[in-house]
Structures are given as C-alpha cells and as structure tokens.
Structure 1
Amino acid sequence: MEQKTTVLFVLLFSLASFLSLPIPTTASPPVSAVFAFGDSTVDSGNNNRLPFTLFRSDHPPYGRDLPNHVPSGRFTNGKLSTDFMVSRLGLKDLLPAYRDPRLTDRELLTGVSFASGGSGLDDLTLAVSKATSLGRQLEEFDEALGRMRRTVGEKNSSEIVNNAVFVISVGTNDMVFNLFDLPVTARKIEFSPSGYQDFLLRRLGSFIQNLYQRGARRFQVAGLPPIGCLPMQLTISSIFNGLRRVSVEQQNTDCQAYNTKLQGLIPRLQASLPGSRLAYFDSYNPILDMFNNPSKYGFVQTHKGCCGTGMVELGPLCGELSLTCPDPSKFLFWDSMHPSQAAYKVLADISARTVLPILTA
C-alpha cells in the first residue's frame, strides 16, 4: 500500500510540474526572402538595363572587390548591405537585380532588388535622373509575384511574401536634387524644407501601404544619411567655403529633421496595417560616427572617395581609367556619393543587431 502511495505521489508531482511549465509562444517564421526597393544604396544592377540614365556603374573600377571582380552595377567596390543581409540569413551570397536576364524563377523566390540608382520619391527627381520610379519598381514586383505564383503556386508564394523582409532605402536623391544642390528649384519655390520632408514622407507612406496590400508584412525602412558629409557635398560647399572640406551642417540638420519625422511615421503606419512589423534603420548616426571617428572602424580617409580624386567622381566619371586607392577598406566612401563595401558591412552588422530582431521576434 505504501509503495502504491509513493508511485501515485510521484505521478501527481510530475503532472503538477509539467502543468507549471511556461507555455511556449509561437516563434515567427524564419525570413523567407529579401526584397529591396529604392535607390543606388540597394541597386544590385538594375540600372544596367536603363538606356538613358547617367547613373550606371556597370564598368570598372566598380565591383573590383566582388568575388569575380566584375562590375555588376552595384555603386560600390563590392557588396551592398543587402548582400551581407541575405548572406547572414542563409538565403544566398548576393541579392541579385530583378532586371538581370540571368535571374531564374527559383532564385527569385529568395529575394531580389528592384532598386534603381538615382531613384526617389519625387517625380521631379526622376525627371533628372531617368531612373526607375518607385511606381515602376512596384509594377516590377507585381510581375515578380506572377512569376513566383507560376513557380510554386498561390499559397506558397503568399507565404514567401508574408515572411520576407522588405528593405526600403530612398530619399537622398530627392533632397540633393530638389533641396540642396541647386539655388532655385520648383520644390524650393513650392515648399519650405519642412514641407518638402512632409511631402516625401507622404509618398513613402503610400508606397509602404501598396506593398502591404500585396502581402508584405516586415519592413526595414532606412532614414537619410548625413548628406552634408558626402564627398560630393563637401566639394560643392568648399567652393563657397574657402576650399575647406567640412560637413554642410544645414544639410545634416535637414536630414535629422526628416529622420525624426520618419521615426514618428513608422509606428503610426504599423498601427494602421494589421499584422505588420516596421523597423526604422538609422544610417545617419553610424555614418556620421564613421566620418568623425575613422580609426574606430579601421578607416584612414572619410572626406574623399577611393575612386579618382575622390571629390567628384561618380558613375561615368569613376571609370576604367580612374586611379583608385590601393585599399578601399580604409575608405568610408568608394566614390563621391556612395559608401565602400567596408562601410556597408558596418551598416549591415548594425541592421542585424537592431532591426532584424524586431522583424523576426
């Protein structure tokens, strides 16, 4: 009788212990794909197929540090942040361009970039750059969805999109073309700097809503970098500044104001889009820290790009005959506007620590 009592006690104790365990919550599905939209910071080579744009990088010395050392159309010496992202997620080594004729339907399933160098939120930006608008990028995403459905079916395609990360990086060209670099523009006449920021953010919010309607749920939305620290901006400002190459503080202040508004917009958008997760990616402070504290990141030059003189070379001006620095990893910028692969790696690492946990928790 005593033995039966002991066995019963053990069983009851085990049952009570089991019932007291915390109930596991359902973890978010792993990231299925990465889809990128915006400008040259995430363009993997879509501009290679644009006949009228000056913003192309499908020629040496661009791409010199890619695995095959061949220019792919990325506006840097090697990989972009989105390339490091898909590699870290175990999806693929590089995020391909949607317009790459070699892109297969199977490769499309794990992500692609629709971005276009020179693109922006403002139609007037596109009139100058002749890049692919965000509206057209959205149309190309619709085309991609059709290809995906034909490959894996409606249900599987929807699951891929629902569990993908959508990276949006845009706005720099709008500010440079319409607010900063020309003394008089149509937008300067129409808007104050604050009003123009609001105009751009309305466009951005609408674009995110359009992606959401197509099944997107996870968004990484990049803020503006410190535009006043880009080598091209240092060069332009030096003309009026005794040739001193220093950051343009007013431009940086305007970028900070835009970013503050964007950080306020993101939670409002998320609240209006059930089931969505939106995370702000801060590119401003990391780039500014790299600019001001180069040795912390292994850089020796932050005021000039690696290509040519580093002061004005960009796109066609950074060409096959341009001299380049011997070690781009020591440079914050590759050309007069775009970060080096080393800088993109820093930004990708920060994204992995600060954004992906929010989107995958």
Structure 2
Amino acid sequence: MKKQFVAAGFVLFSFMLPLKATAAQFGAMYVFGDSLSDTGNIFNVSTSVGQPYPQSSLYSTDFPGRFSNGQIWVDYLADQLQITQPTLVTDPKFPNQGVNFAFGGARAGFGNAVVQDPPGQHLPGVLEQVQGFAANNPKADPNALYTVWGGANDFIFPPNPNDPTPPADRISQALNTLVAVGAKNILVFNLPDLSKVPLFQGTAPQSVHDAVDNYNTTLKQTLDGLSNNPNLNIISVDTYSLFDQLSKSPDTFGFTNVANSCRVQTSQTTYEFCSNPNQYLFWDEVHPTTAAQKLIADTALAAIEAKSVPEPSTALGTLAIGAWGAAAVLKRKRKKLLVTTANRVPGGQSTRIKVES
C-alpha cells in the first residue's frame, strides 16, 4: 500500500509542477517612450524652467508627472514584478533598479512634438533615448527588462519635417540598438487605434486609422524577425486589441464611457472633471485613466508570463517523469510474481528518459 501511495505521488507531483511560471524576476527595468510611459521626466524639466507640464492640478496630485489621474502602467508593472520604480533620467538619485528615459511628447525618432527644448537642453525622441542609453551602456544588463512604446505623437501631431523616416522604422532601429548592446528581455507595445481617441471625437480621417495599421504591421514584422533569435526574449503587448475590446465591451471591464474624456476643458483656462473617473477609459483627450493604465499593466504582465511557459517537450517530459515513477513501482510489484519477465528489461534503460527543452 505504501508503494502505491509513492506511485500516486509521482503522478500527482508531475501535475503539480507549474506549466506556467510566475512572472520572471528581472533585475531591473529600463523604460523608453513618450507620455504613455513618462513618470515625471518632462515634468521635471519643464518645472525647472517655470512651466510645469503636465500640471498636477489637471492630472495627478498624488503622482505628479504622470499623464493620467494616478499611477500609470509603468508604476503598476514595476510593482507586479517587485522592481523598485525606475529612476527618472532627470532625477539626481542613483539608479538602482533601472531608469525611465521616457519623455512626454517624444517622437518615435528624434525630438519632441509638444514641448520645445529648454535652453541648453534637448528633449529626446524614443530612438534618441535608446541611443543615449546604448552609448553609456555598451554592455546592457541581460537580466533586465527593457520596455519600448512610441509612435503615437507622430500620428497625432504634424510630422517632423526634418525626419521623413516612418515611425515604425525608427522604433525598429531602437529595438535593434538595444539588441546590439546585449538587451535580452524586450517588452514592446504596438499602438491602439488612435482614430478613436476623444481628441478626434469621431472626426479622425481614415488616414489616421490606416497609418496606425501600417505602423503595427511593420512593427510586427520587426518583432517576428527578432523572435527568430533564440537568445532574445521578445515580448509583444497588443494594446490595439486591448483597446478594441474595451471599446466593444466596456461593461466587462467596469467602464461606462469609452468615447469621452473625464477631464473636459470648458474655456481657455477652466476645466471640469467627471465624478467617476474609474469608469472612464480616457482621462484627457488621448491619455488613459489610471484604471485603464492598470489594465495595460495587466496585459503586459500576462504577455510576460505567457513567454514563461515551458516548451511542450518539457511539459511532456515532466509528465513522463511522473509516469515513469508510477511504472517503476508497478514493475517492482510485477517482479515479485514474474522474475523472469523483469529480467528481460535491459539494464538501466527503464530509468533513462531524455527531456529536451
């Protein structure tokens, strides 16, 4: 009876081993992007010249510098991964668990679409952020998580006349630059359908929708190519599908308004705010509320965890080990009755199971 329990234990153990690991424990987090990822860089720079942007009174007083009414996905994901919030590139504190290089208004390539460079300073685009990081980190931390999300400003605002290169190509250059310096774990976001943000109020030209589709298609091709490298962990976050689901089934996610912004400008200097921001998808004309930011972080975490699933052969091998344990006990029981039958099993063969990853 005892051996039967042992056999059952082997089988049970094989099923108890998780087929999906928890989120990887990254040593640090490096963030590159625009206002969707900025936790205070543009705020610090603009405050230093006496023109705070974004104004905390119009966004978050508890979490200043965020383009939302509270924490954004960077904050939430760092907490979920148990990583200390990445130090701002404009913060004099020594970075211990990563840096957030994102600037509100950053273009995919070079410069800023919203804020002019302060005297003696330059506000970098996403590619510039990555290039600056690479110049100072010729050997990137292979255990860190690198996140890249950009391109929206290139479609919402007039294009950069000095940079005719498509935004998707600039983001592709940024990704390849990270790979060149040794980044292994790269989290990349595509763009939601910008033609549906409150800024356009249903008046966006078809060209905006088409431009986002082309951007996402080109970005996917880049990610597919990088994913062929077995040494890279390329993690895609499909915000296009997420926001499409939120728009079509808002009740499922607790939203009652996915078309309008919670913050509404009533005159040149005055604003009104909705009383239930957690039920709104957008806080202002283009930026999600903190409730929606949490869903973005959850989607990113799910994408990370999905890449932690073992290869099918590994899972099958785990089950095989459990099955072998049960079979071994049965063989020992059978040996008592049919010794000659047991002797026909080649020595050592029954205990060698090759598991390939």
TM-score in same-fold range (> 0.5)? yes
Structure 1 residues 299 and 248: alpha-carbon distance in aligned structure 2, compared to 1, 3 A threshold: farther
The Cα shift of 1:128 comes to 5.5
Give the aligned partner of residue 266 of structure 1.
223
Equivalent residues in 2 for 1:62-101, closer than 5 Å: 62-64=59-61, 69=62, 71-92=63-84, 94-101=85-92
SS at match of 1:308: strand
> Is 1:277–1:359's contact at 8 Å kept on the other side of the alignment?
no
C-alpha separation between the residues in 1 aligned to 2:113 and 2:296? Answer: 30
User: Which whole-Å CA distance do the structure 2 matches of 1:76 and 1:41 have between them?
Assistant: 9
Instruction: Work out which of the residue numbers 88, 91, 112 in structure 2 matches 1:126.
Output: 112
- Say whether the 8 Å CA contact 1:224–1:284 is kept in structure 2: yes
Q: Gaps (5+ residues) in structure 2? A: 15-20, 117-122, 311-357
> What is residue 252 of structure 2 aligned with on the other side?
296
What SS does structure 2 have at the residue aligned with 1:141?
Answer: helix
Name the SS for the 1:41 alignment partner. coil
CA contact (8 A) 1:279 1:359 kept: no
Q: CA deviation at 1:346?
A: 1.1
Residues 72 and 294 of structure 1, relative CA distance in 2, 3 Å threshold: same
Residues 1:138 and 2:125 aligned together: no
Q: Distance in 2 between matches of 1:127 and 1:248?
A: 20
Moved more, 286-295 or 166-175: 286-295
Q: Could you tell me how far apart the structure 2 residues matched to 1:175 and 1:136 are?
A: 18
The Cα shift of 1:206 comes to 1.7
Match of 1:164 in 2: 144
Alpha-carbon distance between aligned partners in 2 of 1:122 and 1:204, rounded to the nearest angstrom = 7
SS in 2 for 1:168: strand
Distance 2:158 2:103 in 1: 18
Deviations 1:7-66 (A, max 9, x none): xxx9xxx9xx9xxx9xxxxx99621111110111100110023348989214213114xx
Select 2:302's aligned residue among 322, 329, 353.
353
The number of equivalent residue pairs is: 291
| TM superposition score normalised by structure 2 | 0.69
Which residue number in structure 1 is paired with residue 262 of structure 2?
306
Query: Quick one: structure 1 residues 55 and 250, their matched pair in 2 at CA, closer, same or farther if it must change by over 3 Å?
Result: farther
Give structure 1 stretches of 5+ with no counterpart: 1-9, 22-26, 147-153, 180-184, 191-195, 235-244
Q: Which stretch of structure 1 is more off in the superposition, 288-297 or 325-334?
A: 288-297
Q: How far apart are 1:276 and its partner, in Å?
A: 1.3
Q: Secondary structure at the match of 2:171?
A: helix
The CA distance in 1 between the partners of 2:34 and 2:296, in whole Å, is: 16
Q: Give the CA deviation at 1:257.
A: 2.6
TM-score using structure 1 length:
0.69
State the distance in 1 between where 2:293 and 2:169 align: 28
Higher helix share: 1
Q: Name the % identity.
A: 24
Give the partner amino acid of 1:336. E
Q: Distance in 1 between matches of 2:32 and 2:78?
A: 15
Mapped contact 2:31–2:99 kept (Cα < 8 A) = yes
Q: CA 1:261 to 1:135, structure 2 compared with 1: closer, same or farther past 3 Å?
A: closer
Contact in 1 for aligned 2:199/2:285 (Cα 8 Å): yes
Instruction: Flag the 1:246–1:276 CA change in 2: closer, same or farther, 3 A.
Output: same
TM alignment of 1:26-65, pairs within 5 A:
30-51=25-46, 56-64=53-61
- For 2:211 and 2:248, the matched residues in 1 are separated by 19
1:231/1:303 contact within 8 Å kept: yes
Question: For 2:234 and 2:91, how far apart are their aligned partners in 1?
Answer: 29
* Aligned partners of 2:261 and 2:282 also within 8 Å: yes
The one-letter code matched in structure 1 to 2:69 is N
Shift of 1:127: 6.1
- 1:206 and 1:280 mapped to 2: Cα distance? 16
Deviation at 1:138, TM superposition (A): 3.0
Deviations 1:222-251 (A, max 9, x none): 1111100111122xxxxxxxxxx4665442
**Counterpart contact for 1:44–1:73, Cα < 8 Å:** yes
Residues 257 and 91 of structure 1: is their aligned pair in 2 closer, same or farther, counting only changes over 3 Å?
same
CA distance in structure 2 between the partners assigned to 1:53 and 1:37 by the alignment: 25
Alignment partner, residue 344 of structure 1: 293
Task: Identify the residue that residue 335 of structure 2 maps to in structure 1.
Answer: none
3-state SS of 1:284 partner: helix
Are the structure 2 counterparts of residues 247 and 127 from structure 1 closer, same or farther at C-alpha, using a change threshold of 3 Å? closer
Q: 2:258 aligns to what SS in structure 1?
A: strand
SS of corresponding position for 1:233: coil
Of 113, 133, 145 in structure 1, the residue corresponding to residue 100 of structure 2 is: 113
Query: Deviations along 1:58-110, whole A, 9 cap, x unmatched?
Result: 4213114xxxx2x4211101111111111111113x44422123x3x2xx232
Q: Which has the larger radius of gyration?
A: 2
Pick aligned residue for 1:173 from 131, 153, 177: 153
For 1:133 and 1:61, the matched residues in 2 are separated by: 25
Match of 2:167 among 191, 200, 209: 200
Do the aligned residues in 1 keep the contact of 2:195 with 2:205 (CA within 8 Å)? yes
SS in 1 for 2:287: coil
Partner residue of 2:271?
A: 322
Equivalent residue runs for 1:226-305 within 5 Å: 226-234=193-201, 245=202, 248-271=205-228, 275-305=231-261
Deviation at 1:302, TM superposition (A): 1.6
User: Please, what is the CA RMSD of the aligned residues?
Assistant: 3.7
